[in-house]
């Protein structure tokens, strides 16, 4: 693979996405201001992905004094590893939303999708952001009779919701199909160029960005948040967790299941790059699109998603390569990367006031595979809530919603799994494994001197031992060989091989354990 293990510190991952080169190559550095410790900010936004930055910019534009605290660098999380689709249809289909939430809700969702797309287009135009934004049609195809029945339901429900879609007779990818539908006016862009454009405007308007500032604690007194990061304290009237799941054990931990998604950037031997977006209906699904970076076309192929910490990521990459090679003449794999997203139990994201805590704490999570759209929409909804403005989507996406119960089957399935890990992992131990058996770059759980440890061997043969108990809520982490990380199967917390937090909700790293064992050659 051509672009492997470079710039790894720019993302929560060992693998490199094609978007990361922009950050390295960009001569335009963001000005990161000093925090004014005496100042009372209107809003502290935690997380500088698309959700946090959109929220911050909309608030700053409305005259609010905002500060973004990012644990690493902007786009370090899923925004730096997205496949960057801009769709007005979602992983929870209009047929599902209509059935589970009612027809009005499906119509409202369609409207929300159009609004999110128009916010992105508006920013790109107003701020002249050069982010490869292109309008594309999207084809959704069925490969058998059963899928065709599902596709027909999606087509009809999409139309009822007010989305422009029609049956087509051609597909843009060389996969045999039974039926296909087409949504026009969809899009794609370069996510890091886009958020850097928003950030530049946020900073120009007086907003503050703090990098490498993980918020470890938030104390609320008289409605004021005092957030503590390293040796800094930040005071704010409102606080937004744009971090997927907020830290600590809260309702969101049990209403969302973490998934990993896999993507390849392929160079082809011929010019058969699809002009548009294409998606199948398989489980897990696949998608295709084309992106041109520095004059080079790449076929972006994604899918093979699975719950974090549950399956073999290397196998997922291999499956994806084999799948793509069935249909395309692949010259080389230029990129392969994976990213994390959260599946909400009833299909729709949770955007708004975090339930069960003081007023003025907001959350945006459960975006499924539609993070660029829901992240943008979250910016609009949360900024309206902070500003005390009406927003017609608040009830549909409310994090406090208890109904409908149509997602109940999934809810039981997802949370049962979380609960199983939550309780049993703390008391079970893996078999004793000999450290000598570890290969360089390999990690595993092992019982050592009566204690379960997360053991990792680096390329020099040096072994690092960590306490494998996730600092969030006590589940046992699993090794992710593809990303060289320790991933928690409960709520998606992830750590690098030294134990440092890569993905919230944990805020504290895994403790190192001293072991007296030398396996160096
Ligand atoms: Fe929640 Fe690990 S126990 S992320």
What confidence tens digit (pLDDT) does each residue in 420-437 have? 454 334 323 343 345 666
**Local confidence band at 512 (pLDDT 50, 70, 90 cut-offs):** confident
Q: Is 309 in the pocket of ligand 1 (CB under 6 A)?
A: no
Phi and psi (nearest 5°) for 473? Answer: -145, 15
Q: Report d(CA 111, CA 113) in Å as an integer.
A: 5
Q: Is 482 in the pocket of ligand 1 (CB under 6 A)?
A: no
pLDDT at 517: 39
Can you tell me the mean pLDDT for 258-267? 94
Residue located nearest, by CA, to atom 3 of ligand 1 = 473
Q: Report d(CA 107, CA 105) in Å as an integer.
A: 5
Q: Is the dihedral of CA 86, 91, 92, 93 positive or negative?
A: positive
Q: Report d(CA 192, CA 339) in Å as an integer.
A: 14
**Local confidence band at 343 (pLDDT 50, 70, 90 cut-offs):** very high
Q: Which residues pair with 279 in a beta bridge?
A: 140, 287
Whether the Cβ atoms of residue 387 and residue 62 lie closer than 8 Å to each other:
yes
- Ligand 1 atom closest to Cα of residue 491: 4
Whether the Cβ atoms of residue 55 and residue 383 lie closer than 8 Å to each other:
yes
Q: Which of 31-35, 38-42, 46-50, 225-229 has the lowest mean pLDDT?
A: 31-35
Which of 234, 240, 92, 199 has its CA nearest to residue 154? 92
Q: Is 475 in the pocket of ligand 1 (CB under 6 A)?
A: yes
In the numeric block, which tokens belong to residue 272? 């058969």
Which of 80, 58, 351, 363 has its CA nearest to residue 207? 58
- Helix and strand totals (H; E) in the chain: 10, 24
Q: Is 470 in the pocket of ligand 1 (CB under 6 A)?
A: yes
Residue 401 has pLDDT above 90, yes or no: no
Q: Is 505 in the pocket of ligand 1 (CB under 6 A)?
A: yes
- Ligand 1 atom closest to Cα of residue 258: 4
Q: Report d(CA 248, CA 237) in Å as an integer.
A: 20
Q: State the distance from the centre of ligand 1 to the C-alpha of 421, rounded, in angstroms.
A: 9
pLDDT at 11: 81
Which of 356, 340, 281 has its CA nearest to residue 78? 340
Domains present along the chain, CATH in parentheses? 133-187+257-342 (3.30.9.10), 435-503 (2.102.10.10)
Most confident of 32-46, 139-153, 211-225: 139-153
Q: Report d(CA 341, CA 257) in Å as an integer.
A: 8
Q: Is 493 in the pocket of ligand 1 (CB under 6 A)?
A: yes
477 or 356, greater pLDDT: 477
Q: Is 173 in the pocket of ligand 1 (CB under 6 A)?
A: no
Q: State the distance from the centre of ligand 1 to the C-alpha of 282, rounded, in angstroms.
A: 29
- Ligand 1 atom closest to Cα of residue 475: 3
Residue 398 has pLDDT above 50, yes or no: yes
Q: Is 161 in the pocket of ligand 1 (CB under 6 A)?
A: no
**Which residue is it, tokens 């897990």?**
284
Q: Is 504 in the pocket of ligand 1 (CB under 6 A)?
A: no
User: What are the pLDDT digits (tens) for 222-261?
Assistant: 889 999 987 789 999 999 999 998 887 777 887 888 999 9
pLDDT at 359: 86
């Amino acid at each position: 693979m051509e672009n492997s293990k470079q710039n790894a510190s720019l993302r929560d991952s060992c693998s490199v996405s094609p978007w990361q080169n922009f950050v390295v190559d960009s001569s335009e550095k963001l000005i990161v201001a000093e925090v004014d410790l005496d100042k009372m900010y209107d809003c502290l936004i935690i997380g500088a992905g698309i959700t946090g930055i959109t929220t911050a910019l909309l608030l700053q534009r409305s005259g609010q004094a905002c500060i973004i605290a990012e644990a690493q660098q902007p786009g370090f999380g899923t925004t730096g590893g997205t496949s960057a689709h801009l769709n007005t249809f979602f992983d929870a289909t209009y047929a599902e939303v209509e059935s589970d939430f009612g027809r009005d809700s499906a119509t409202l969702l369609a409207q929300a999708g159009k609004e999110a797309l128009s916010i992105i287009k508006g920013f790109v135009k107003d701020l002249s952001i050069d982010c490869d934004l292109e309008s594309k049609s999207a084809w959704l195809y069925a490969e058998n009779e059963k899928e065709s029945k599902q596709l027909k339901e999606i087509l009809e429900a999409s139309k009822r919701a007010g989305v422009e879609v029609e049956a087509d007779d051609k597909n843009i990818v060389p996969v045999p199909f039974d039926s296909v539908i087409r949504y026009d006016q969809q899009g794609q862009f370069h996510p890091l160029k886009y958020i850097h454009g928003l950030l530049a405007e946020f900073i120009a308007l007086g907003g503050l960005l703090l990098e490498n500032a993980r918020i470890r604690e938030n104390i609320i007194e008289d409605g004021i948040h005092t957030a503590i990061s390293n040796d800094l304290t930040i005071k704010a009237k409102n606080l937004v967790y744009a971090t997927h799941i907020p830290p600590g054990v809260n309702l969101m931990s049990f209403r969302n299941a973490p998934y990993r998604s896999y993507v390849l950037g392929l160079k082809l031997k011929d010019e058969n790059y699809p002009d548009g977006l294409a998606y199948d209906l398989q489980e897990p699904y696949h998608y295709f699109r084309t992106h041109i970076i520095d004059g080079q076309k790449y076929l972006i192929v994604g899918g093979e998603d699975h719950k974090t910490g549950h399956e073999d990521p290397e196998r997922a990459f291999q499956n994806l390569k084999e799948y793509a090679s069935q249909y395309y003449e692949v010259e080389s794999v230029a990129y392969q990367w994976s990213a994390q997203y959260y599946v909400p139990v009833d299909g729709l994201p949770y955007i708004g006031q975090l339930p069960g805590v003081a007023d003025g704490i907001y959350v945006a999570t459960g975006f499924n595979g539609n993070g660029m759209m829901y992240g943008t929409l979250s910016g609009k909804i949360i900024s309206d809530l902070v500003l005390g403005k009406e927003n017609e989507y608040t009830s549909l996406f409310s994090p406090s919603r208890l109904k409908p119960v149509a997602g109940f089957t999934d809810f039981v399935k997802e949370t049962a799994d979380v609960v199983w890990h939550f309780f049993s992992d703390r008391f079970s131990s893996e078999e004793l494994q000999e450290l000598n058996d570890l290969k360089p770059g390999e990690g595993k759980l092992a019982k050592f001197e009566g204690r379960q440890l997360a053991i990792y061997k680096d390329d020099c043969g040096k072994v690092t031992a960590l306490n494998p108990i996730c600092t969030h809520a006590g589940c046992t982490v699993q090794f992710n060989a593809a990303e060289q990380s320790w991933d928690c199967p409960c709520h998606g917390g992830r750590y690098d091989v030294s134990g440092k937090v890569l993905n919230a909700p944990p805020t504290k790293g895994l403790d190192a354990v001293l072991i007296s064992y030398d396996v160096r050659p």
